[in-house]
């Protein structure tokens, strides 16, 4: 069967600044730099974010590889701490030069840059002020965004306010895998709320600058969300409610304010009953209503399967969303055993249909999707590159469901793989590899295309594939 995608469909990959650039020039300290100094034992093999994939010095080589892969688009982020080492004040001209050169080189090679303003790398100076718990930091973020728009908005057409804003909330304030590594749901809810406010402020700012002719007239601004569909164990009303509550906390908590401009009443009620509502400021309601995004990025890796709670919660335990549901280990599920994640490609289709039916069918693209595998070098063939058929099959299966969603009328305009090349992954360093391109840590970070890269090159060239 032929799977042909719409004309102008985005084919590419996503990275983030901290995970590929390395700590070159005068980049300021981030939360990850600080946490690595404090607790290097928390990082796989004791590897921190200093070098990563050295994209800062090798971006021209890497763009040549993107061109070879027939990319027509590429998502990355600007490191706030690279432009402003303290989060505000004096700008780092070397950082400005790097991003100018990167953007120009992408455009020169007919690769559309999709630029995120924030991808988990909070400047430590901003975290010392409270991070996104603080409205002061929200204001500094808006100023940083304004400078980015002024510097690069004449060329960058697609902007992203935040990548996966739920993740710093989960990692930093609920589940111990991001700095500041506290377990305090109420603080996490304040961070989530202020992050949504920061997105709305920056969206409104961009729209104003566009109306004034200060950025591209055809420019657009959106957000990238990790939308993990919540499936109930059964059609029992209690299981259905459990899945709905999980969806409220982990999907609708950002999807609704950022796309609809308001929070779900049921979520507000749940938080109010537990004295968990965030501090709000006058005018926030209108700010959210006006600051809705113009397109959506959808990161998808695995589904969430839940059931009604069957065991009591310790009354002394700090509140977590899981107090209202339990995870369900579905028998027979397919697994990526290296990450412990279920493989369920239909989740892309179900989520896209939900966006079409309940969120105005706004423009959306798959902004991350990928399969991390440990010790990939064992799959190296006699020609010297990695035979990652498992990755090809993974991508192909997701693209089939994506194609079906488009046939059903979903407004989908692209697919970005995570990721271009093997990169440093937060606490996991290089434990699991995701790239179309291998990065050899033992041989001067040498780049070598994997079999999946050669396959994707043909898919992008043909705007589809046969299967």
Q: What mean pLDDT is predicted for residues 381-386?
A: 96
Question: Is residue 307 within 8 Å of 235, Cβ to Cβ?
Answer: no
pLDDT tens by residue, 73-92: 999 999 999 999 999 999 99
Helix (H, G, I), strand (E, B) or coil at 356: helix
Identify the CA nearest to 20 among candidates 463, 301, 359, 422: 422
pLDDT score of 301 more than 90: yes
- Catalytic, 408? Answer no
- Nearest CA-CA partner of 299 in 131, 457, 163, 391: 163
DSSP for residue 250 = I
Per-residue pLDDT at 357: 98
Mean pLDDT of 233-248: 98
Residue 169's Cβ-count burial label (10 Å; 0-12, 13-18, 19+) is buried
How many other C-beta atoms can be found within 10 angstroms of the C-beta atom of residue 44?
Answer: 14
The DSSP call for residue 380 is: B
The DSSP call for residue 85 is T
Alpha carbon 234 to chain centroid, angstroms: 30
Q: What is the pTM of this model?
A: 0.98
Nearest to 202 by CA among 91, 80, 90, 303: 80
Cβ burial of 317 (10 Å; 0-12, 13-18, 19+) is exposed
Q: Which of 133, 368, 376, 438 is catalytic?
A: 368
pLDDT at residue 410, rounded to an integer: 98
Report the pLDDT value the prediction gives residue 310, as an integer from 0 to 100: 95
Identify each DSSP E strand in 207-351 by its residue range.
220-226, 230-232, 295-299, 304-307, 326-327, 335-336, 341-342
Radius of gyration over every alpha carbon of the chain, rounded to an integer in angstroms: 21
Q: Which of 129, 195, 202, 128 is nearest to 160 (CA)?
A: 202
The per-residue pLDDT of the chain, averaged, comes to 97
Mean pLDDT value across residues 215-221 = 98
Q: Using the 8-state DSSP alphabet, how is residue 421 labeled? A: B
**CA 422/CA 41 separation, integer angstroms:** 22
In sequence order, the 6+-apart residues with CB closer than 8 A to the CB of 220 are 157, 158, 159, 294, 295, 363
Average pLDDT, stretch 22-42? 95
pLDDT recorded at residue 350: 98
Query: Domains in the chain, ordered, with CATH?
Result: 2-466 (3.20.20.80)
pLDDT of amino acid 248: 98
**What pLDDT shows up at residue 24?**
86
Q: Is the pLDDT of residue 42 over 90?
A: yes
What is the pLDDT, as a whole number, of residue 25? 86
Express each pLDDT in 163-186 by its tens digit: 999 999 999 999 999 999 999 999
Q: Residue 359: what pLDDT? A: 98
Contacts 24+ apart (CB under 8 A), 132-135: 132/168, 132/191, 132/194, 132/195, 132/198, 133/187, 133/190, 133/191, 133/194, 134/194, 135/194, 135/197, 135/281
Q: Within 212-345, where are the H helices?
A: 237-247, 253-255, 265-273, 284-290
Distance CA 319, CA 269 (A): 16
H helix count then E strand count, the chain: 16, 19
Over residues 222-244, mean pLDDT: 98
pLDDT at 407 over 90: yes
Checking if the pLDDT of 274 tops 90, the result is: yes
Query: What mean pLDDT comes out for the span 182-197?
Result: 98
61 pLDDT band, cuts 50/70/90, is very high
Tell me the two tokens of residue 406. 């488009």
**Mean predicted confidence (pLDDT) in 90-116:** 98
CB neighbours (10 Å) of residue 312?
Answer: 7
d(CA 143, CA 137): 10
């Amino acid at each position: 069967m032929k799977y042909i995608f719409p004309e102008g469909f985005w084919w590419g990959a996503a990275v983030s600044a901290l995970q590929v650039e390395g700590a070159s020039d005068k980049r300021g300290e981030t939360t990850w730099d600080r946490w690595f100094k404090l607790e290097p034992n928390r990082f796989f093999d004791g590897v921190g974010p200093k070098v990563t994939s050295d994209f800062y010095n090798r971006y021209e080589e890497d763009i040549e590889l993107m061109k070879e892969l027939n990319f027509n688009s590429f998502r990355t982020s600007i490191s706030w701490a690279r432009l402003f080492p303290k989060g505000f004040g004096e700008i780092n001209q070397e950082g400005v030069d790097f991003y100018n050169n990167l953007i120009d080189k992408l455009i020169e090679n007919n690769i559309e840059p999709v630029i995120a303003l924030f991808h988990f790398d909070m400047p430590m100076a901003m975290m010392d002020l409270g991070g996104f718990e603080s409205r002061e930091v929200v204001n500094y973020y808006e100023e940083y965004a304004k400078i980015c728009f002024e510097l690069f908005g004449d060329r960058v057409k697609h902007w992203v306010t935040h990548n996966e804003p739920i993740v710093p909330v989960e990692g930093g304030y609920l589940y111990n895998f991001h700095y500041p590594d506290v377990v305090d749901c109420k603080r996490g809810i304040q961070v989530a709320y202020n992050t949504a406010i920061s997105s709305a402020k920056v969206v409104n700012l961009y729209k104003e600058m566009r109306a004034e002719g200060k950025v591209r007239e055809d420019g657009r601004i959106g957000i990238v969300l990790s939308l993990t569909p919540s499936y109930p164990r059964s059609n029992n009303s209690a299981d259905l409610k459990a899945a709905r509550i999980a969806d409220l906390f982990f999907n609708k908590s950002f999807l609704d304010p950022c796309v609809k401009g308001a929070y779900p009443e049921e979520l507000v009620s749940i938080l109010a009953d537990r004295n968990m509502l965030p501090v709000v400021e006058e005018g926030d309601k209108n700010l959210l209503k006006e600051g809705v995004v113009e397109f959506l990025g959808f990161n998808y890796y695995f589904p969430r399967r839940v059931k009604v709670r069957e065991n009591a919660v310790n009354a002394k335990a700090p509140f977590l969303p899981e107090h209202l549901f339990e995870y369900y280990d579905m028998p027979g599920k397919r697994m990526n055993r290296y990450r412990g994640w279920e493989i369920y490609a239909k989740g892309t289709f179900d989520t896209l249909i939900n966006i079409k039916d309940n969120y105005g069918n706004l423009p959306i693209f798959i902004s991350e999707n990928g399969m991390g595998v440990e010790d990939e070098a064992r799959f190296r063939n006699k020609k010297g590159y990695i035979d990652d058929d498992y990755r090809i099959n993974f991508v192909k299966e997701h693209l089939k469901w994506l194609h079906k969603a488009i046939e059903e009328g979903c407004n989908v305009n692209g697919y970005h793989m995570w990721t271009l090349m093997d990169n440093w992954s937060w606490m996991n360093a290089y434990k699991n590899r995701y790239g179309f391109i291998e990065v050899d840590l033992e041989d001067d970070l040498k780049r070598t295309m994997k079999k999946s890269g050669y396959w994707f090159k043909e898919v992008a060239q043909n705007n589809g594939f046969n299967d």
